[in-house]
Amino acid sequence: MYINLSGLNILVTGASKGIGKAIATKLAEAGATIAVHYNKNMREAENLAQVLGNESRAFQADLSQPDEAANLFDRVVLEMGSIEILVNNAGVAMPVNIDAKETDWMTTWNTTIQVNLTSCGVLCKKIVEHFIKRNATGRIINITSRAAFRGDTAEYMAYAASKAGLVSLTKTIARAYGKQGIKAFSIAPGIVRTDMGKETMEKYGSEHATGDLALERLTEPKDIAPMVTFLASGMADHATGSTIDLNAGSYVH
């Protein structure tokens, strides 16, 4: 199957490493120009943008801060002219015990919700407005989690809640704006072989990550990127609002 995304500008958040880097690479291979968002990994992001070609470029934003998501979107549009597809990939998974100090628990909760849900919501709002203003069609692809459906361990309560909110946000956009040509999709990985996944395995053991897999190995970023590219192509638009499980069969719904 040949996918041609030439002429499309795509904002991928959290694109300097892991899942985001794999997504950005695959989209660029199909011809897209990528806005490579990063928070701290400037060198990696700038190097990636150069490797991707197609006039891709890197943009910094700390999505844990309230105004940063909107500012990021505006900068990308200012420099690139338009955005045709948004991939909300950036996220944090911060464990905190329920018996932690109230202030520590609330700090973790608020930061997680800000990065994983509020900033994603702001970017979705901005791009929906962008599409409508330009009378253009477009797509939003949100990287959620199986935790949105099956929950998570107690230490990751905020993470699960944030991802559940993101799924609901995606469905709402799909239902509300479909007739205006705006499509929205969720992809729900489980534990993925990334730095975040490594931290989970170090904390709980490899059996926690692999024990309930239906397949022979843990999901890797390269397993997620092709699905994002397929959704970006427009060939699955009638699946708008759907969640695609990409977690090696560890959770299906």
Active site residues: 159
100, 155 in Cβ contact below 8 A?
no
d(CA 184, CA 135): 17
Of residues 58, 180, 170, 176, the one with CA closest to residue 120: 170
The angle at the Cα of 30, spanning 28 to 34, to the nearest 5 degrees, equals 25
CA torsion sign for 115, 188, 153, 204 is negative
Q: Could you give the CA distance from residue 38 to residue 7 in angstroms, rounded to a whole number?
A: 23
Considering only CA atoms, which of 49, 45, 44, 47 is closest in space to residue 9?
49
Q: Given the DSSP bridges, would you call strands 85-88 and 57-60 parallel, antiparallel or unpaired?
A: unpaired
Contact 222, 21 (CB under 8 A): no
- Two tokens at 135? 């009378």
To which H or E segment does residue 121 belong?
A: helix 119-134
> DSSP of 34-93, one letter per residue?
EEEEESS-HHHHHHHHHHH-TT-EEEE--TTSTTHHHHHHHHHHHHHS--SEEEE-----
